[in-house]
């Protein structure tokens, strides 16, 4: 029994004890744990889960590799929309986890009170590391490096530390999708992106959005109205879909399909996981401190000799 599987069993036991949800450690553990903010796009992740749920319901004959989507996050006290996203994740989980027709294929878990003690289990058990912030928005990120060190394969945008990580491990050993930073910045400066075009031309994306407000995940059809409006309207004098969730949705869905295809090839996945661990050395604090000493503080090294 390999170490990764033992770690997945340990996390599965924790989830059963704390969430009352039985998850299959043989499934793909797809993990996004970090501060809840719109630019980090937990909303994109859970909308894709809804999309997969619809696919399984409409096509039960699909050969779908079991997936466990694991979220963990805290939102700042006054960040109402972030808290709505947490509520949506849990509401989707309530529906998905209690639907016997998808029970063996799809699970959604929100780990409460995400903190160091449970992070130690989560990082070690993850197969997929979700680093899906809108390109140009993430200053760096450190959780992605911890996942990499533990052999999780990154699914992400070319943003923050993901750029350096892909330089180290190679693009063949990560799943990169979506708009690049320069494209996002160009849209922000010059316009040209209208999410309503996607809404009106892509029936599957439109279905997901409608499920936010049609009672599928809450009898209160206004509960997630703000999330729906944020993607399509200028209700609060902001650009609609300012974090380009609909713009990146199809690219993200294809990257997720690529994850599944790769995971089915056990030798390929093992190689990817091993290379992620092997190539994570650059991100040691020793190297970071040395660069600060040389490039920022301009200090001379002092050698201390023992008597």
* Residues of the chain with confidence (pLDDT) below 70: 1, 235-237
* Full domain range(s) for residue 110: 3-297
Domain-embedded: residue 302: no
- Domain membership of residue 77 (yes or no) is yes
Q: What's the total number of domains in the chain? A: 1
In a domain, residue 51? The reply is: yes
Q: What is the pLDDT of residue 24?
A: 97
Of 258, 261, 247, residue with least CA distance to 205: 247
pLDDT value at position 80? 96
CA 154/CA 144 separation, integer angstroms: 7
- What does the buried/exposed string (b/e) look like for 254-284 if buried means 16 or more CB atoms within 10 Å of the residue's CB? ebbeebbebbeeeeebeebbebbeebbeebe
Q: Tens of pLDDT along 210-243?
A: 999 999 999 999 999 999 999 999 766 578 999 9
Q: Chain-centre distance of CA 223, in angstroms?
A: 23
pLDDT of residue 2: 87
Residue 164 covered by a domain: yes
Residue 66, domain CATH: 3.40.50.2000
Closest CA to 155 of 181, 178, 123, 182: 178
Nearest to 51, CA basis, from 252, 264, 261:
252
Residue 128: which of 93, 175, 86 has the closest Cα?
Answer: 175
Between the alpha carbon of residue 25 and those of residues 106, 151, 265, the distances in Å are: 12, 16, 17
- Res 20: pLDDT: 96
* Residue 303 within any structural domain of the chain: no
304: in domain: no
pLDDT of residue 237: 56
Q: What is the pLDDT of residues 41-75, one digit of tens each?
A: 999 999 999 999 999 999 999 899 999 999 999 99
How far is CA 296 from each of CA 55, 164, 179, 286, 289, rounded to the nearest angstrom? 52, 20, 32, 15, 10
Q: What is the per-residue pLDDT for 236?
A: 60
Q: What are the beta bridge partners of residue 108? A: 69
Record the pTM.
Answer: 0.94
**Per-residue confidence (pLDDT) for residue 218, from 0 to 100:** 96
Q: How far apart are CA 73 and CA 37, in angstroms?
A: 9
């Amino acid at each position: 029994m390999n170490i990764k599987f033992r770690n997945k069993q340990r996390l599965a036991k924790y989830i059963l004890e704390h969430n009352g949800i039985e998850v299959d450690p043989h499934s793909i553990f797809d993990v996004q744990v970090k501060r809840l903010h719109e630019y980090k796009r937990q909303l994109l992740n859970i909308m894709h889960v809804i999309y997969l749920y619809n696919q399984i319901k409409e096509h039960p004959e699909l050969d779908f590799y079991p997936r466990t989507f694991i979220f963990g996050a805290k939102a700042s006290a006054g960040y109402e929309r972030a808290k709505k996203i947490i509520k949506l994740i849990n509401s989707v989980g309530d529906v998905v986890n209690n639907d016997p027709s998808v029970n063996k294929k799809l699970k959604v878990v929100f780990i409460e009170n995400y903190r160091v003690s449970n992070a130690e289990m989560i990082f070690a058990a993850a197969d997929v590391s979700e680093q899906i912030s809108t390109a140009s928005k993430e200053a760096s990120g450190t959780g992605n490096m911890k996942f990499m060190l533990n052999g999780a394969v990154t699914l992400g945008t070319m943003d923050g530390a993901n750029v350096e990580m892909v330089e180290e491990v190679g693009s063949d050993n990560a799943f990169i999708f979506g708009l690049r930073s320069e494209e996002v910045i160009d849209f922000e400066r010059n316009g040209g992106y209208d999410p309503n075009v996607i809404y009106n031309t892509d029936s599957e994306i439109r279905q997901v959005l409608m499920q936010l407000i049609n009672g599928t995940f809450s009898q209160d059809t206004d509960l997630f109205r703000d999330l729906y409006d944020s993607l399509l309207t200028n209700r609060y004098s902001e650009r609609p879909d300012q974090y380009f969730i609909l713009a990146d949705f199809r690219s993200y869905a294809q990257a997720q399909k690529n994850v599944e295809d790769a995971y089915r090839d056990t030798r390929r996945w093992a190689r990817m996981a091993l290379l992620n661990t092997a190539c994570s050395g650059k991100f040691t604090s020793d190297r970071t401190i040395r660069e600060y000493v040389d490039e920022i503080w301009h200090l001379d090294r002092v050698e201390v000799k023992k008597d």
